[in-house]
Every structure is written in structure tokens, then in C-alpha cells.
Amino acid sequence: MTSTQTRSSGVLNGLSRARRGVGLGGRSEHAPRPPRRFSTRSITLTLLVIPSVVLVVLIYGYPAIYSVFQSLHDGNLVEVGEFVGLENYRIVLHNPVFWQSVEFTILYCVVGVFGSWVVGLALALLLRKRMYGRSFLKTLLLLPWVVPVVVTATAWKWLVATPSSVVPRLAEDLGLGQLLFLDSPGLAKTIVIAYKIWLSFPFMMLMASAALAGVENDLYEAARVDGASSWQQFRRITLPLIARSTYISWILMFIFCIGDFQSIYLLTGGGPVSSTSTLVVLAYETVFGNFQTGPGVAIGIIMTVVSVLVSVVLFRRIKKVQIS
């Protein structure tokens, strides 16, 4: 067999794997599962893992159960209070500030996840090409992710907080007038979301780079021989083969976004007039600002249930990923 035939065979095998949904080394869901065998080694490993599992359940399970208990009582930070049933949930669901926070939380999560993914994937594709100073550029792009949030949030406030800051002065020089970025609800939302995308794109870039490293170049060469354009290669080869990694990165980033407290609180504190208050910020303000433990914990319980449901839907989506 000649080298050309060997190469073609490899390409055909890769395309066959892609059509079956194997992707980056994963097994097709239609492939038969091997029979399970319980060896001495697996039993030993299970016994070694059990203490850690019990410890994790105790650490996370007890606070979760106690939180549900608190959400059903009219208490404060000191006392549990009287049992009120679902009254705290009724109060929360009839509070317009709660629905305002829900609206901004959805916006924050959707734009934060997909905005950081688009930027991260674009940079990962760019860094695949040979260029001068690629390693230095890659390291530089990781800075938003590795620098502490308190430092980056302070830097962003220095850039936009006051009329004498850099960005408002630049906007005024461009004829846009005097813009108060953190005092206007619309502009404050824009700044908070832009900050989240800037903060999160390095993580997405790393996930996309790892996934792209597993895509065989032979597939692109075969596509170019068939006359496929760059966009067709991206849509038919790149996106399907990194689909599973993409869904995992979306799940992780959604969890990061919906539970993100520090970046919002350090930048705007949830203001102005609660316009940038997400559910986690509202829960914090309700418990530690208004000393209403029951409604505040109820907000946290609702947020947790929604997070679990969205994560389950995305995980089920991962299992159904097929490559056409």
C-alpha cells in the first residue's frame, strides 16, 4: 500500500468516525457497551472513594437541607423563626425586583456564555496559525482569567466610573456627550456584561484550543481537495468535532455566570436602582442587607433549581450530539 493510499485510508477513517459522532475520541452512543466486570481493583477503588463521597455529602448536603429549612421559616441571621410554609416563596415571586433580577440574570448568562465563547473560539482558531510571538500572545490573553477579580474590577472602575475617567473623556472627545457609564441603568448593564465577557473569554479559549488540538488536519486537507471553502470547513468539520467540548464549556460558563457575585458586586454593587442586580446579588442583599433570611434563602433555592434544570438539559444535549 502506497503512502497516498495510507493517507486516504486515514482520512476516510476520520470522516467515518465523524459521521458516527465519535468526535474527539468519544464512543458513539450506538456502539455496544462492554460488559461490566467487578474486579478486586475496582472494589478497592470504590472503598477508597467512599469516605471522600461521604465527606462531600456532609459538607454540601447539610447546608443545602438547612437552607430549605430556613426558606420555610420567618427567621433572621440569629434565629430560625416561625414556620411559614411557602409564604417566603410567595413573597419573592410577587416582588417586582425579583423579576427584574431574573431578567438581568438571563441576559447576563446568555450574553456572557455566548459572547465569551465567540471571542474565545475566534482567538483559539487564530492561535492555531503559525505567527511570530504566538506563545507570548497566548500568555497575554490569559491575564484576565488569572488576575484576581478585585484587581480587574478596580481597573475597570478606574476606566469608566467617573466623568474624568478615561472612557467617558474619550466618549466626550468623540462628540457622544458626557456619559456616566455606571450611573445609567442601560450603560451599567452594558459595562457589566462586557466585563464578564472580557473576564471569561480566556477560559473559553483554552477549552476551544484543547478541542481543536484533537481535530485531524487530514480532514481539512481532504475538504480542501474537494473544494470546500473556509466557512464550509468551519461549519462541517470544526464545529461538529468540537461540539461536545463546546457544550461542556457552555455548562461550566453558565454555572460561573449564574453564580457570579464578586465581579458584579465589585463593579456596580447591583446598581443603579438594582438594574445590574442578578439573583445571587439580590439574595445577598435580602439576607445581609435587609436581614430577611427566609426570602433571601428562597431566592437561592429557586436559583439552584433553575441551574440544575438548565445543566441537565445541556448534559442531555451532549448525549444527543450527532455529526451530520
- Count Cα atoms within 13 angstroms, Cβ side, for 291: 5
Q: Which helix (H) or strand (E) segment is 217 a member of?
A: helix 217-225
Q: Name 26's Cβ contacts closer than 8 Å, sequence gap at least 6.
A: 244
Report the alpha-carbon distance of residue 267 to residue 253 in Å, rounded: 19
For every one of its 324 residues, what pLDDT tens digit does the chain have, with 9 covering 90 and above? Answer: 444 455 555 555 555 555 554 544 445 555 666 666 667 888 888 888 898 888 888 888 888 888 899 899 988 888 888 899 899 999 999 999 999 999 999 999 999 999 999 999 999 999 888 888 888 888 889 899 889 999 999 999 899 888 888 888 888 888 888 888 888 889 999 999 999 999 999 999 999 999 998 888 888 889 888 888 889 999 988 998 998 889 899 989 998 999 899 999 999 988 888 889 999 999 999 999 888 899 999 999 999 898 888 888 878 877 776 544
Select from 302, 255, 313 the least CA-distant residue to 109.
Answer: 255
Q: Phi and psi at residue 83, in whole multiples of 5°?
A: -75, 125
> What is the pLDDT, as a whole number, of residue 97?
92
Three-state SS at 58:
helix
> What is the pLDDT, as a whole number, of residue 318?
76
> What is the pLDDT, as a whole number, of residue 30?
57
Report the alpha-carbon distance of residue 219 to residue 214 in Å, rounded: 11
> What is the pLDDT, as a whole number, of residue 124?
93
> What is the pLDDT, as a whole number, of residue 122?
94
> What is the pLDDT, as a whole number, of residue 184?
87
> What is the pLDDT, as a whole number, of residue 1?
46
